[in-house]
A and B are shown apart, each in its own frame.
Chain A
Amino acid sequence: MSAAMRPRPFKANPWVRAGWIALAAYVIYAASRLEITWPRFVAGLGHGARFIGRMLPPHIAQPDSLLNGLAESLGIAILASCAGIAISLPVGLLAARNLMPAWATWPARLSIALCRSFHPVIVAILFVKAVGFGALAGILALALGSIGFIGKLFAEAIEEISLKQVEAVRATGAPFMNVITYGVLPQVFSRFVGLATYQLDSNLRNSTMVGIVGAGGIGGTLFAAFQRFDYAFVCAILLSIIGMIMAGEVLAGWVRGVFLERGKVEQE
């Protein structure tokens, strides 16, 4: 009796309900506007099956251009990662609001935001226009993206450190650079290595793609094969990219292991 008198303990939120209805309405509207129909999908499946049929068996039509493309992609990925990691370390430090005054963090955060605002493909197109076709444009595009990604997350990692450790190092009369190398970096080093190896991995993936817009690497070979309808070669290129990415993951894992071994052993 008295239980029935109590108000419902779960409050209805009209805003949430309205949000769900609006989302459903938009999905229906967008699907109709973009002419997504069932017959269109079924027809597409048939095309897809024929496409896959033409890809098999894979055939390496131009072994030289395949190998050169892969080598160039690898080079782009590693050079872009090295440059990006080297620059993002100071940029990330400058952007950390718990260590730096506002006049340092604002420009640093602004440049990180700029680096992050476009997809690597768009940046690659811009650099192709600026410095011409070839690997240099790809390297610059991916390096910029790396600065944005590592810089932002590294700055966030620094903003979460324990300031007690920093305070103790400051109290010894250490100059600012020593406070950074002893009070700050040890706390964020493993995070930084993690970010850097993740970025190496991601740059390897992206380096196979910037070639599509003329910024060097295996992407150019892939695009050319597509345009010749040489799908057997396309398939061979895709498989070799998969191989390279997997090798890259092993490499990144190994780099992590080398740098973080000390931490791993003594962490228990």
Chain B
Amino acid sequence: MSASRRISNAAATEPARDGAVPALSIRRLCKEYVRGKPVLRDISLDIAGEDISAIIGPSGTGKSTLIRCINRLVEPSSGEVFFEGQDLAQLDRNALRLARRRIGMVFQEYNLVERLTVMENLLCGRLGYVSPLKAWLRRYPQEDIARAFALLEQVGLSEFVNERADSLSGGQRQRVGIARALMQEPKLLLADEPTSSLDPKTSVEIMSLLRELCRGRNIPAMINMHDVELARRFADRIIGMSAGRVVYDGAPAALGDEELKLIYGGQEWLRA
């Protein structure tokens, strides 16, 4: 009840872009790890449609914290995070767990369970739906297994089904990481620097794969990126952060030197 009232309030104060109900609305989000030293200052954002939103900004500016405050791997200090009609910041443990099932996440260092096989890692994406006993015995519904095989094909790892995750290369691991997130059938995808541990060629391949798979499923994605060029190339929208605030929010085409100076500070580095 109160959650739905809250969301109408939020929508009233700041209508979503294009008038559609956004997949994710962040309102006045703040985070302090240490009292008096805020990492996130008053962030408000709407993520709508099937956009790829890239968050760029200098290291230590709170990009990772922002992403993690959404699914509460990091607890926000204050503010609201509306997703599918509820404020994630208010949910109790169990409700939060149920909400997390609808939010996929891709990590910088892949975070695969190293000693499990590729298939087992993919099925990790269904762990929110499978009882502990069945999960332990690897008794997954047939449709989950079928979906896993289909996804493996889409990310090009069909012949690695029974390989252990720690035998794969970085690019292959991130493909497994993406497939695992999509196994959840998420309504939102969060990615924390998914290409920072990869070489430039693999980075482009991974970003193309992410964009293609998200667009094919109408999943909006919020992606932290440290590579401005990669963000320009793959994102529909760029959110620039500096010192815990959003200082730029717009199309990649509009991101010029002035804006980059605002985000990263200084200008020496901009001269080619």
Contact = CB atoms under 8 A, between A and B. Distances in A.
Contacts of B113: 165, 168-169, 182-183, 186-187
Interface stretch (B51-59, B121-129, B151-159, B222-230): B121-129
B241 interface: no
A173 B124 contact: no
Contacts of B100: 170-173
Contact of A178 (B112, B120, B130, B163): B130
A170 B99 CA distance: 12
A181 interface: yes
B114 A167 contact: no
B96 to A, nearest CB: 8
B82 interface: no
B127 A169 contact: yes
A172 B111 contact: no
A221 B97 CA distance: 60
Nearest to B167: A266
A177 B177 CA distance: 21
Contact of A172 (B112, B120, B124, B163): B124
A46 interface: no
Contacts of A173: 97-103, 127-128, 184
A65 to B, nearest CB: 45
A165 B112 contact: yes
B111 A266 contact: no
B107 A172 contact: no
B70 to A, nearest CB: 10
B37 to A, nearest CB: 23
Contacts of B166: 266
B115 A189 contact: yes
- Could you say which interface size class chain A belongs to? 20 to 34
Nearest to B128: A173
- Could you say which interface size class chain B belongs to? 35 or more
B71 interface: yes
A164 B97 contact: no
Contact of A175 (B99, B128, B180): B128
Given A169-B113, A182-B116, A174 B107 contact: no
B111 A175 contact: no
B73 interface: yes
Contacts of A175: 97, 127-128, 132
B193 to A, nearest CB: 13
Contacts of B98: 173
Nearest to B133: A177
B111 A187 contact: no
B73 A170 contact: yes
A178 B114 CA distance: 16
Nearest to A165: B113
A20 B117 CA distance: 54
A59 B1 CA distance: 87
| Residue of A162, A172, A182, A186 with highest tally of chain B CB at under 10 A | A172
Given A172-B127, A175-B128, A186 B97 contact: no
A187 B164 CA distance: 13
A266 B125 contact: no
Interface string B116-148: 100010001111101010011000000000000
B239 interface: no
A243 interface: no
B99 to A, nearest CB: 7
**8 residue pairs, one from A and one from B, having the closest CB atoms:** A173-B128, A173-B101, A174-B127, A173-B100, A168-B111, A177-B132, A186-B115, A178-B127
Given A173-B98, A173-B102, 15 more contacts: A164-B107, A168-B113, A168-B180, A170-B73, A171-B73, A173-B97, A173-B99, A174-B97, A175-B128, A182-B113, A182-B127, A186-B114, A187-B115, A190-B115, A262-B164
Interface of A: 162, 164-165, 167-175, 177-179, 181-183, 186-187, 189-190, 262-263, 266
10 contacts: A168-B113, A172-B128, A173-B184, A174-B124, A174-B128, A178-B127, A182-B124, A186-B113, A190-B115, A262-B164
Interface of B: 71, 73, 97-103, 105, 107, 109, 111-116, 120, 124-128, 130, 132, 135-136, 163-164, 166-167, 177, 180, 184
